[in-house]
Structure 1
Amino acid sequence: MIQIIAAAVAIILAAYLLKDKMISKQEARVPVPAANTATRNIIDKMQSTRKRVIIFYGSQTGTAEEYALKIAKELKHRYGLGVLIADLDDYEYECLPHFHQDWAAVFVMATYGEGEPTDNAVAFMDFLDSPEFEDGADSIPNLKYLLFGLGNKTYTEFNGAARKLDNKLNKLGAIRIGERGEGDDNKSMEEDYLAWKDPAFDALAKSLNIEEGTAAEEADFRVTEISQIPDEKVYLGELSARALHGTKGIHDAKNPYAAPIIKSNDLFKIGTERSCIHTEFSIQDSSLKYQHGDHVGLWPVNAEVYVEETLKILGLSDKRQTVIQIESLDPALAKVPFPQPTNYETAFRHYLDISATVSRQTLALFAKHAPTDQAKCVLSELGSSKEKYKEVVSDHSMRLHEALEHASTETWSIPFEDIISSMPRLSPRYYSISSSPKLNPNAIHITAVVLQYKSAGNANKNVYGLATNYVLNIKQSVNNDSISYSAPVDAQIIAPPQYAIQGPRGAYARDGHFKAPIHVRRSNFRLPNSPKIPIIAVGPGTGIAPFRGFVQERVHLSRRYKEKNGADALNEWGKFYLFYGCRRSDEDFLYKEEWPEYGKELGDSFVMRTAVSRESEKKVYVQDHVWEAREELADAILNKRAYIYICGEASNMARQVEETLQRILGEAKQGTAEVEGAQEIRLLKERNRILTDVWS
């Protein structure tokens, strides 16, 4: 009896301790109506919802989920199919061998890092390798599937997660019923998707014995304007129920933390044509924790000029404050993508991404709502012709309101439910954290170059990176700047747009103090546990960001070592080689004053080599310094088990650094770069001794 009572008390205590986490998860989903999710058995779910197609997505930043929604909506509207959308992390798969013969699955798989599955797909991929499937080809013979992968060709393993999944399913007897689609984010993911979908959907229709044109056109959502509702119940930019109600709880991607800005300053010399912002966010009063190498997700807002122009072209300027309630007409297919009730202005400022180049598919869908026949023809052509879309929209970086204005300056009466269905949600932008929690336990630092350039098709049109210009606005406000930097008269600086950085209900700007919503995303970009293992880190430009955190991590550890073992304690440490690159040593050398101070603490264990590309006739880059140090680097890699880290631009720098390492290792093995060097690089990647954090 005593044991039973003790067990009951333990259960009650555990439930009490976990209540905040449970409440947080529930409240974070309050604005999003959902179908019955009581079961984690995917077969039961399909049967109870009477669906014939299930779309699984593996998504890290939300893009794969967006494509899953696109596929679901088109299958429903084209064939009248009942479709279920499933996060791979939300279900158990022991029942997968019982998948029905007249069902089909669609997998939309993003690749994270160097060929790895996204966080929500790891458990599923591991499950496919489990002892449950010892029978191999006889394990899941009824599973028929389509597969579309999202990747980037600048990474080593293009669409690695999708290709690995395809191989696993094939070995277990599943049947792919169409060509595997592979989207390339470095060029045009949208065009890759459009080229894949029609043949894939035809194959699916043939497999399920269904015909096109049998479905009535139905909306995914119902939008109702509300005249009477308490202001405190309306979302005005809050990203979660906790933020709206002011309740405490964990902070994550579903409930970002409004982090106070400690400081924000420009790292580039005044007078240069570019700006690089160092910003420090306080996490002292939050539940946020981070490790060196992690990423921080920053939730920006759209520039005010885009909000105003979008409201105007859609005829909603006078109704901007009208409160709207959004209902999903098929919660299993289409979740309401943002918190509500809200109003039109808030939706365009905080929740829908109207800053990005509008997609060709969206233009094709909106053509039917054109105010004139001529406008309908213009938008239809942009939506149907890949070449015309590139010439008019893509090359000019046209946003939604600009593309609509191009077709007609008259008001476009596009139902808001169609806007919700077609426009992507405004998602967080991720930055490598440039600090260490050991030296900065209550703060997260980021290092971001402000993205401003002229569009490819129009030298008079300015294009602004959404999040970095949002950060620039914060920096200006924190420092009470009227401009971000003082440039030469002939520098042709682009003035940044203005953003509503005050946040919902002014919550992010009070009494001269500013905040921004953030959350932490875990990374595998980690130092080895032992400081005796050598480190080779290559990061030009803002690629230096995570390595600043790495070095700070080592500085903290060195202080403990020396305190415990004396001044000579670091003699046994492996060397930390840091290869950094900038244009000019007196303009854009990031954290120039800090590195000598770190060097004093780390002594001979820290070696920094800086490539300055524009101070001599011959341009010098990081890969040049890597080659110059080839003998000691080869020894560190082959004999001392060094770890290699590369951070920065992927298509040129990262590729060239890897090619240089391949040459070094090929020479050290008394062979060639193409054979022995390539083999060593493969082995290092398999053993996770080459890690990259790169972007296109």
Structure 2
Amino acid sequence: MAERRLLVLFGSQTGTAQDTAERIGREAKRRHLRCRVEALDSCDVANLIHEPLVVFVCATTGQGDPPDNMKMFWRFLFRKNLPAGSLCQLDYAVLGLGDSSYPKFNFVAKKLHKRLLQLGANPLLPVALGDDQHDLGPDAVVDPWLTALWDKILALYPLPPGLEIISPDVRLPPKYTLHYLPEDSPHPDSDLLQPTAPRAAPCELHPFAARVVSNQRVTAQSHFQDVRLIEFDIAGSGITFSAGDVVMVQPQNCPEDVQQFCQLLCLEPHRRFVLEPTEPGTSLPPLLPQPCTIQYLVTHYLDISCVPRRSFFELLAFFSTNELEREKLQEFSSAQGQEELYSYCNRPRRTTLEAMWDFPHTTCAIPADYLLDLIPRIRPRAFSIASSMLADPERMQILVAVVRYKTRLSKPRRGLCSTWLASLNPEQGDVRVPLWVKKGGMKFPADPATPVIMIGPGTGVAPFRAAIQERVALGRRGNCLFFGCRHKSKDFYCQTEWEELVTKGLLTLFTAFSRDQEEKVYVQHRIRENGRLVWELLSSGNAHVYLAG
């Protein structure tokens, strides 16, 4: 009998595709299939020729781009020299997750499906296109598609004699077992964020702990929006960047939330533990030290401030000893309850921690072993770099708008990363932020004679500040910036800097302060007013135009 094994590969930018892939993994276990769930770039693509059955779960990001954790796979798969029948033994299915308000809706899933067909693979089902815009979200497509998928898979790989599908009412074992160490066991002083000279350029698995040099508010105190210009010391990091590149920052939960979480779940923050995979062959979470403290796990790893997904409530229902709470949790995890879940969670942006407060009987019964199944890891956040290495090779700056807004919940919503960054005070000692750099999508012209027109309202001006610093250092003129904000006196970031460059003839600057006069004025009005200059730069100067914000 053919070996009953399934490989689930995901390309995920925000975690939704990974969450869906893990759901498929759980459903495979209920059908007694040997199943691995991996990011596409973690899997050795050359081994695909030995895989009998693969399900691909892929998001589409940006303008039809593959997520970061499948870019190497994508490049490999589209190599011209791959033989046409190289995947003829592979049965596969592709599930796409996208948003139909974008022109390249589910572009990655469609293109992947087509390429696998070209390489001779056999589709079990037509490609599924989950849509965020649907009233019930992507699950409106995912649920019926999965039902059809399991029918196909069980026809090819029937259940072994004497085995039945494990009922959805039965709780599956956790991915890891958490073993507490005796309180008196010796523990070496290990701080993951010791700044060390890296062997290679910093990356997600090995970030650089950059010292915060300054954290300056660049909007007036009376202005509703708090925007920060934050400077990091990157000396000795091996980091290099150019204008248009992006810095990835790994944030952490605030101490109050960590304390509340530990109290709710009756966890002792300073207890140390080691993780052991339940199934042999499962790798340990790469970003967690072994041994680790509960405090470190909750501060640096568990995303307790994210909006919980359907899978969170599904698993939570298993721990509930309270009938009312269990009924509600089961409703939230059912296909019929998705509209209600959206109103409870997504619309008001309720956090995982707040949802746990609403189910106190259940929360205090959560076994620590299941924490990593229940709560996803904190994802890094991307910021455009707002400075040039040519201005200072040992420093990097970012412009951060602190996210804060109201929903129907009494407590204002706060962005995890921007709030944490704004709270850092370098005057209170050695404050460090784990970060690494990624190539950005914005490339500035190599020819020094090519003028650039940059349109950057608000914090969208960040990459253009880097570009202008870079071009000025290289002696390039032809820098034209359209900048927009609300008030000249309140949120005109880097005003003095721009004005100095204008005086020196190194920058042409047009500003639009939308609220400083009765009729609102935006950057598009300034572009129209200066249409002749813009046209001249485009037609005779071959200017490049950039827009951010």
Q: Which residue of 2 aligns with 1:582?
A: 485
SS of equivalent to 1:105: strand
Query: Could you say which residue in structure 1 is the equivalent of 2:384?
Result: 432
Pairwise CA distance, 1:393: 2.7
1:219 aligns with 2:168: no
Inter-partner Cα distance in structure 1 for 2:102 and 2:462? 19
The corresponding residue for 2:259 is 308
Aligned to 1:551: 468
Distance 1:146 1:642 in 2: 45
1:295 to 215, 235, 246: 246
**The one of 52, 76, 81 aligned to 2:5:** 52
Shift of 1:134: 5.7
- 1:163 shift after superposition: 2.9
Q: What do the CA deviations read for 1:605-653 (whole angstroms, capped 9, x no partner)?
A: x3222221112222122223233344443454456443222212xxxxx
Query: Is this contact kept in 2: 1:535–1:644, CA < 8 A?
Result: yes
- Does the alignment pair 1:478 with 2:426? yes
Aligned to 1:382: 332
Conserved 8 A contact 2:134-2:140? no
Distance 2:5 2:442 in 1: 40
Q: Structure 1 residues 406 and 112 mapped into 2: Cα distance closer, same or farther (>3 Å)?
A: closer
1:89 alignment partner in structure 2? 41
Whichever residue aligns with residue 222 of structure 2, its letter is: G
**Equivalent runs, 1:151-550 vs 2, <5 Å:** 151=98, 157-182=104-129, 192-208=137-153, 209=155, 210=157, 214-215=165-166, 217-227=172-182, 228-232=184-188, 238=192, 243=194, 248-250=198-200, 251-316=202-267, 319-330=268-279, 332=281, 335-336=284-285, 338-339=287-288, 340-384=290-334, 385-408=337-360, 412-455=364-407, 457-458=408-409, 460-474=410-424, 477-478=425-426, 512-550=429-467
1:145 aligned to which of 84, 92, 96: 92
Contact 2:452 2:545 in 1 (8 A): yes
- Aligned-partner Cα distance in 1 for 2:480–2:129: 37
- Check 1:223–1:104 CA distance in 2 against 1; reply closer, same or farther (3 A cut): same
Task: After TM superposition, give the deviation of residue 223 of structure 1 in Å.
Answer: 1.5
Change (3 A) 1:61 1:602: farther
Mean Cα displacement is larger for which, 378-387 or 363-372?
A: 378-387
Check the 8 A contact 1:370/1:412 in 2, yes or no. no
Q: How many correspondences in the alignment?
A: 533
Alpha-carbon separation, structure 2, partners of 1:333 and 1:225? 20
SS in 2 for 1:265: strand
Structure 2 partner of 1:619: 520
Partner deviation per Cα, 1:196-245 (whole Å, 9 max, x = no partner): 33323223323322579524733321111111532226x66x36xxx49x
CA offset at residue 118 of structure 1? 3.8
Once the two structures are TM-superposed, the CA of residue 146 in structure 1 deviates from its matched residue by 2.4
1:339-387, Cα deviation, whole Å (9 max, x unpaired): 1321222211111000111222201210121131122112222333112
SS in 2 for 1:214: coil
Q: State the secondary structure of the residue aligned to 1:231.
A: coil
Structure-2 change in CA distance of 1:279 and 1:89 (3 Å)? same
State how far apart, in whole Å, the 2-side matches of 1:397 and 1:261 are: 30
Q: Distance in 2 between the 1:394 and 1:91 partners?
A: 32
Cα distance in 2 between the residues matched to 1:117 and 1:413? 39
Identity of aligned residues (%): 29
**Structure 2 letter corresponding to 1:172:** L
Corresponding residue number in structure 1 for 2:543: 642
Unaligned runs of 5+ in 2: none
Residue aligning to 1:121:
70
**Structure 1 residues 602 and 211: CA distance shift in structure 2, 3 A:** farther
Q: Is the 8 A contact 1:538 1:580 kept in 2?
A: yes
Structure 1 range deviating more: 348-357 or 124-133: 124-133
Judge conservation of contact 2:264–2:360 (CA < 8 Å) in 1. Answer: no
CA apart distance, 1:170: 3.1
Q: 1:533 to 1:89 in 2, by over 3 A?
A: same
Answer yes or no: is the 8 Å Cα contact 1:84–1:332 preserved in 2.
no
- Aligned with 2:26 (options 58, 64, 73): 73
Matched letter for residue 364 of structure 1: E
Residues in 2 aligned to 1:122 and 1:331: alpha-carbon distance in whole angstroms: 28
Q: Closer, same or farther in 2 for the Cα pair 1:615/1:162, shift >3 Å?
A: same
Q: Aligned equivalents of 1:182 and 1:444: distance in 2?
A: 40
Any conservation in 1 of the 2:97–2:138 contact (CA below 8 Å)?
no
CA contact (8 A) 2:255 2:299 kept: yes
Q: Secondary structure at the match of 2:114?
A: helix
341-350 vs 587-596, greater mean Cα deviation: 341-350
Distance in 1 between residues matched to 2:298 and 2:531, nearest whole Å: 53
For residue 355 of structure 2, give the secondary structure of its aligned residue in structure 1: helix
Moved more, 246-255 or 349-358: 246-255
Distance 2:80 2:473 in 1: 44
Q: 1: distance between equivalents of 2:102 and 2:318?
A: 39
Counterpart contact for 2:131–2:138, Cα < 8 Å: no
2:538 paired with 1:593:
no
Contact kept, 8 Å, 2:175 with 2:279, in 1: the verdict is yes
CA contact (8 A) 2:325 2:362 kept: no
- Asked if 1 retains the 8 angstrom alpha-carbon contact of 2:130 and 2:140, the reply is no
Aligned to 1:438, the other structure's residue is in SS state coil
- Determine the structure 1 residue equivalent to 2:53: 104
Cα separation, partners in 2 of 1:390 and 1:126, compared to 1, 3 Å: closer
CA contact (8 A) 1:220 1:328 kept: yes
- Paired letter, 1:373: E
Does residue 132 of the first structure (1) align with residue 81 of the second (2)? Answer: yes
- More helix per residue: 1
Equivalent runs, 1:32-43 vs 2, <5 Å: none
Once residues 306 and 628 of structure 1 are traced to their aligned partners in structure 2, the CA distance between those partners, rounded to angstroms, is 50
Kindly state the Cα deviation for residue 333 of structure 1 after the two structures are TM-superposed.
5.3
Post-superposition shift, 1:546? Answer: 0.5
In 1: Cα distance, 2:544 partner to 2:208 partner: 34
Q: What is the deviation of 1:193?
A: 4.2
Structure 1 residue runs of 5 or longer lacking an equivalent are: 1-46, 480-508, 559-569, 649-696
- For residue 58 of structure 2, give the secondary structure of its aligned residue in structure 1: strand
